[in-house]
Amino acid sequence: MTDPGPAARPAHGRRAARVARAVRRTAATAAVATVVAGQLLAHPAGTPAASAVERPSIDGPVPEGSGLDSGPLRLDGPCRTTAAVLDPTAPPASATAAELADAWIHGRGEGQVVAVIDTGVNPGPRLPRVRGAGDVVPGRDGTEDCDAHGTLVAGVLAGTEDATGHSGIAPGVEIVSIRQSSSVLRAESPGPDGPTVGAGVGTLSTLARSIRAAVDAGAGVINISEVACVPSGTVLADATLGGAIRYAAVDHDVVVVAAAGNVGEACGEQNPPSADPSVPGDDGWDDVLTIASPAWYDDHVLTVGGVDADGAPAEFSLRGPWVDVAAPAVGLRSVGADGAGVSDFVVAGDGSRTPISGTSFAAPFVAGTAALVRQAHPGLTARQVIARIEGTAIPAAGGHDHAIGHGVVDPVAAVTGVRRAGRPAPSTTTIAAPPPDPGPPGAGAGAGVAAGALALGAMALVVVTLLGSRDTGRRDDRHTLAD
């Protein structure tokens, strides 16, 4: 978690620093586009791309209910499937049971309840402990997943050990599944949260209600591998989401873990790698180009960036002063789409394959670690669990930054409280994102522009999903749901 540094900095000093940085960041392109009420507006060339960002508040209203019914929905195309690894004996970037043995000295998460707020979870032989607690589809409970995304997230978190030794971080936990979004479902008619324009369902409003549903279902840890992004300077009306986060993190002592987001989906502009060292007390909030919610709820949400197998920051991982830690996010393995077997690719309806990479899959690595810490140290509060995970992370050679925060999470050290000898500091060299998948015929390039002065209910979430995936349509006044 970052410290609230700018409050102690003189106002005139902050303004002068912002002006100096804005001059250095003057846009080289002719215009920067945003969408306001469905109309494409252009900022004149030379307009600074960043602006001072006011930190989000958790003082908003708590959602009055946890119902997610979005009205009649239809399936728009086949469900996604997964592909098995070509070489199941090759060491995966994600965890093996042998590596986790020391983290399991107190158990594998038994007795812990972890909510996965996502596209649903398909129970199966490797995900035997899944119960539903909410669904945007009328009459369903969250234990179905046509996107495969939520099931893969749950597999990284809690998949039981397979024949190759691959395992989820905390295979003993109970998963509470809430399907609050989907990119393959379509609304038949406008729902209570406003019209659905284009593809997909799921908004910040349904996310807020999902958080309440997760808390009310008894979750001690919540994983959110979804994000809504807007350019800095845009009014992000997510007050109810802030209230839901307070309901979880403060009122009910729940550890809330969120993915940082992937650049190139709706999160179009990468943020600077660190604060300006030439400005005393600078914490980087004045340099933000892209805001990501719920990731930006610093001090109440544990936000997770992505690294490769060697700990190098992933270029696609959205940076920000709110990034707390990082975890593996490239070339991962999980369970299959049916909750069985093993997979390392998702197969779209047109047959195209996308590797399991992205901050979506870094977040459950950390959520599983939080569950292990809560099992081993039941007296710790949610804030203390977060502090322990941050304090035992492997820091970058250059110290705290906005790519991996305090460092790469070490589940063994988080549980035992002892940093293991010989663990190298993560590299500061970023790795490139995989080449983009062409997507289905006629697919758009991904609408990475966002609405200005956006209403909470009309704003859709991006599933922080597989790198290289593409959006299948445009929104007028809401974010896209990535494939």
Place of tokens 């989906």: 265
Q: What would the DSSP string read from start to end of 89-120?
A: TSPPSS-BHHHHGGGGTT-SSTT-EEEEEEB-
Question: Annotated catalytic sites, by residue?
Answer: 118, 149, 360
Paired strand residues for 229:
292
Paired strand residues for 258:
224, 303
Q: How far apart are CA 149 and CA 165, in angstroms?
A: 22
Token readout for 133 is 């607690």
Q: How far apart are CA 304 and CA 329, in angstroms?
A: 10
Q: Which residue pairs from 277-282 have beta carbons closer than 8 angstroms and sit at least 24 positions apart in sequence? A: 279/13, 279/17, 280/9, 280/13, 281/5, 281/6, 281/8, 281/9, 282/5, 282/6, 282/9, 282/17
Q: How far apart are CA 205 and CA 461, in angstroms?
A: 10
Q: 152-180 burial, b if ≥16 CB within 10 A, otherwise e?
A: bbbbbbbbbbbebbbbbbbbbbbbbbbbb
Q: How far is CA 47 from CA 54, 112, 151, in A?
A: 20, 49, 43
Q: How far apart are CA 470 and CA 461, in angstroms?
A: 14
Q: How far apart are CA 387 and CA 18, in angstroms?
A: 31
Cα of first residue to Cα of last residue in the chain, in angstroms, is: 30
Q: How far apart are CA 343 and CA 332, in angstroms?
A: 9
